[in-house]
Structure 1
Amino acid sequence: MTPTALPAEFYTPFLSDTAKSRKPSPIRSLFPLEARPGVISLLAGKPNASTFPFTSIQLTSRSPTDPSKETIVEVNGDALAEGLQYSATAGIPSLVEWVYGLQERVHGRKKGEGWRPTITSGSQHGIYKAAHALFNPGDSILVESPVYAGVIPLFADLGCNIVAVETDANGISSKSLRSILESWPAGKPKPKALYTVPYGCNPTGMTATEDRRREVLQLAREHNFLILEDDPYFYLYYGQAERPPSYFRLELEQPEVGRVIRFDSLSKILSSGIRIGFASGPASLLQIMDMHTAMSILQTASLTQTITFALLDSWGYDAFITHTKTVSQFYKQKRDVFENAMQKHLTGLAQWTPPDAGMFFWFKLLIDPDTTADGDSETVIRSKALEKGVLALPGTVFLPDGKKTAYVRASFSLLEEDQVNEALRRLKEVILEERTSINSA
């Protein structure tokens, strides 16, 4: 049975006061009318393209199917003209259409199901706009804990009540989530949304299982909240098991669709510097997010969108998927190198679960093996490890309440094997010195 798209009025209670009062741009809202045949536009203050000095842009890239070969893509003519000029707030039409095709191919979501994409300046930009569209001071948001540190100040600045949900190696604990929701104080508005990074989570590296995702979706219907699916590591999955379906795909099995807002990024697979990502979700919520864009940055840069589309269009979807698989295998090799070094240097000194996606190891320092109490990685990592020339992040920065934890996040994306081994050898020295200090106290 085809699910029903939730109506636009369904989202009104979820919107922030700012979003409810925001008006469409009086100029940008009329941009589509310029495309009508016979219309002579006196609308926008667009600079005359004849004054732009650029005549063509040539890109050289490795072939996704044969890295020993390079291909050349040239951007000129109408494509370049589009990239040099102001464009639609939601993105240049060619790239928007490419995203429609990708989401259908990868997540089974077709046009006309009540959703649409919008191009963002990286996925963080999309999350920022979604948060401003949804939350008033005092509103509650559920977040997995540990959580991506970049959203903690965002939700805090909005005055949100941040509610931590326990996680483990299989993702969000649906038991913890259900307990929170079913014991929610009577008369207090329930959380509007859940924020999650379901693949290769930053910082834990966990990938949520399909069963957990289904349980979370069911709870979203039971307790009427939205799901902010932040997925920059989706294409960096390298686990042995088949990749679990996204929330965006699984939503199709629900009686209605429209609770999931998905955030994708090309930063990890094409370039972090191009700052291109895209949000996909209910058209009415995406419209609110686009109004935020129109009044802040007008649009994601047309030229980087055009360059990105030129490359993706020259590849086609098959080659794009091939490229993402190559990238994921690259990080698998990096993961394996780090895992081997962990076993060599930190066996008995730390505990960890190897990630199945992404670029992070999340491990617990066993500073005092004679006690069951968790230690505190803060001083060990920020001071003593740094003194020995090792820089990592203590786990407390990823906990919404900032409580003490023995966990540490380490990124393995850039280091060569000799650097990994040396870093973990130094960390081993730090832990052993801490143990000696504790035993002699």
Structure 2
Amino acid sequence: MSQSQVCPILDGSLAIAKECSIPEYSPAMKLQPKQIDYTYFFNDTTAKRKPSELRELSRLVDQLPPGSIKLGVGVPNVHTFPFKGFDVELASGEVIKLNEGELAAALQYLPSIGYTPLINKLKEIQDQYHGAQNWKVKSIMVSSGAQEGLSKAVDMCMRCGDAVIMPDPTYTGAIDLFRLHDAEIIGIKQDSQGVLVKEMEKVLASRKKKNQLMPKVIYLNPTACNPCGTTIPTNRKREIYRLACEYNLLILEDDPYYYLSFENVHPTSFMSMDTEGRVLRFDSLSKIMSSGLRVGFVTGHNRLLRQMELHMQTSSMHTSSLSQVLVHKLLSHWDNEGLVSHFLRVKKFYKQKRDHMLLAVKKHLSGLAEWYVPCGGMFLWLKVIGLKDTRCLVTARCLEKNVILAPGYALAIDPKKPSPYIRVSFSIASHEDVDRGISLLAEAIREEIQAV
């Protein structure tokens, strides 16, 4: 066994293992850039969006030197607000305090694209983890969690009845966004390493040959995905990116668990191999800093982010100023060394939670269920042996025992079909609750199988 994290295959135990380490991405694999007509990806509503003249002024005001006379800015005076300062105590016992300028920014409107100092800091992070980006053609927009960014991207691209490619099962928050547009959702099956590329290629080739409506978008949750916990390896990502280029698709890389990968090295992202400007990457601070701060960010080509910014101008206007300023203050306080230390601490915490869950599952569910060992994240995906559908098991029998689980059908592309799967989260429950909960689940499975 190498030093890299191993991911046992679906055999119901931890005995048989296969490597899920991600090979180094070679720049030689990069494709030659070409000009993309981004209007192809814009729906009619997006095409009609125009800049808000007053919101555009906020961009200009943000760039003015100190002492400028602001007679045309229709914002409230911060001196009327009931806040004098913000001190935040960290888990380490350290205290960070907003200075006068930071406090003024935290209490006031910001440009819709986000707080400039935070955006600059996030660019540094993206360069560090995904390779140097061309910030002349790319940019970052801060969003209220990755979900808002994803929502605006879907609303930008999808026309009623458009087709989209997604893994099956997948994150329900994404499915719901596409369903609002009556999308034809093309579900691609998965194995222990994520979506099956050959199936994706077969679907695309078949639809093109039959002159069927071609999808414009691929949605992927590539690292320790919700709900399966699998990570797409680099070689598959290269093939998916190749298909995106060949069939003119945008890749929506929704990656909130990227920093919760249990690998020794971070996964190679789609963004890091994007030479054509067809990847929109969605990052979130919810899993590693605070879900309540509601800070995420979108990275992508300026042309795409500009349309999403115009939507932001007429919806939430911008992500919480206080949250953005606090995040920037914390990132500046930590600097790179502190941030890396925090990532390692969080990863260690969840890896220990996962390992304890696996011990409980092996003890109580061997012979009753099959599973992949997740390479990161917060979830374990169980397949119950001997049940075609876990609906009644989860929504009735387990609830009677006060055990809350997520049934597989709720995470499927078609929730009406029976599903033998269960999603188990190991993020919150104590070791004692995990032991008790998995024991009760085993008890419930036996009862349900006997009843069926």
Q: Whole-Å Cα distance in 2 between the matches of residues 292 and 235 of structure 1? A: 29
8 Å CA contact 2:254–2:283 kept in 1: the answer is yes
The CA distance in 2 between the partners of 1:213 and 1:191, in whole Å, is: 18
Equivalent residue letter for 1:426: L
Q: Aligned ranges for residues 338-417 of structure 1 at < 5 Å? A: 338-367=357-386, 375-402=388-415, 403-417=417-431
* 1:151 corresponding residue in structure 2: 174
CA distance, structure 2, for counterparts of residue 329 and residue 62 of structure 1? 16
Aligned counterpart for 2:310 among listed residues 278, 284, 291:
291
Partner in structure 2 of residue 139 of structure 1: 162
Instruction: Determine the structure 1 residue equivalent to 2:3.
Output: none
Alignment-mate amino acid for residue 292 of structure 1 = H
Q: 1:110: Cα distance to partner? A: 2.7
Residue of structure 2 equivalent to 1:21 = 48
SS for the counterpart of 1:27 is: helix
SS of the residue corresponding to residue 200 of structure 1 reads coil
Question: Which stretches in structure 1 are left out of the alignment for 5+ residues?
Answer: 64-69, 369-374
- Using the size of structure 1 for normalisation, the TM-score is 0.92
Query: Does the CA contact (< 8 Å) of 2:168 and 2:188 recur in 1?
Result: yes
1:437 aligns with 2:447: no
In 1, Cα distance between the equivalents of 2:401 and 2:91? Answer: 39
Q: Secondary structure of 2:227's match? A: coil
- In the alignment, what sits opposite 1:161? 184
The residue number in structure 1 matching 2:140 is: 117
Deviations 1:362-393 (Å, cap 9, x if unpaired)?
0101135xxxxxx1011111111111221101
129-138 or 30-39, larger mean C-alpha shift: 30-39
Question: Using the alignment, how far apart are the partners of 1:144 and 1:436 within structure 2?
Answer: 33
Residues 60 and 72 in structure 1, CA contact (< 8 A), matched pair in contact too: yes
Deviation at 1:6, TM superposition (A): 5.5
C-alpha separation in 2, matches of 1:227 and 1:425: 41
Provide the C-alpha distance between the structure 2 equivalents of 1:61 and 1:5, rounded to a whole number of angstroms: 44
Q: Which amino acid aligns with 1:384?
A: R
Query: How much has 1:303 moved relative to structure 2?
Result: 1.0
Which residue identity lines up with residue 221 of structure 1 in the other structure? C
Q: How many residues align?
A: 420
Would the aligned equivalents of 2:259 and 2:266 in 1 still touch at CA under 8 Å?
Answer: no
Q: Which letter does structure 1 place at the counterpart of 2:308?
A: M
SS in 2 for 1:158: coil
Q: In terms of mean alpha carbon deviation, does 314-323 or 353-362 score higher?
A: 314-323
Tell me the secondary structure at the aligned position of residue 142 of structure 2: strand
Work out the percentage of aligned pairs sharing the same amino acid: 37
Q: Who is 1:81 aligned against?
A: 104
Residues in 1 aligned to 2:156 and 2:248: alpha-carbon distance in whole angstroms: 17
408, 420, 423: which one aligns with 2:437: 423
TM-score by length of 2: 0.90
Identify the match of residue 57 of structure 1 among 86, 93, 96. Answer: 86
Is this contact kept in 2: 1:237–1:328, CA < 8 A? Answer: yes
Kindly tell me: are residues 130 and 312 of structure 1, through their superposed partners in 2, closer, same or farther at Cα, counting changes over 3 Å? Answer: same
After superposition, what is the alpha-carbon deviation per residue over 1:135-163, rounded to whole angstroms, capped at 9, x for unaligned?
Answer: 11011111111110111121111121111
**5 Å matches for 1:205-244?**
205-239=229-263, 242-244=265-267
Which shifted more, 172-181 or 23-32?
23-32
Distance 1:40 1:6, change over 3 A: farther
98-107 vs 37-46, which moves further: 37-46
CA distance in 1 between counterparts of 2:34 and 2:300 reads: 11
Distance in 1, Cα, partners of 2:342 & 2:421: 33
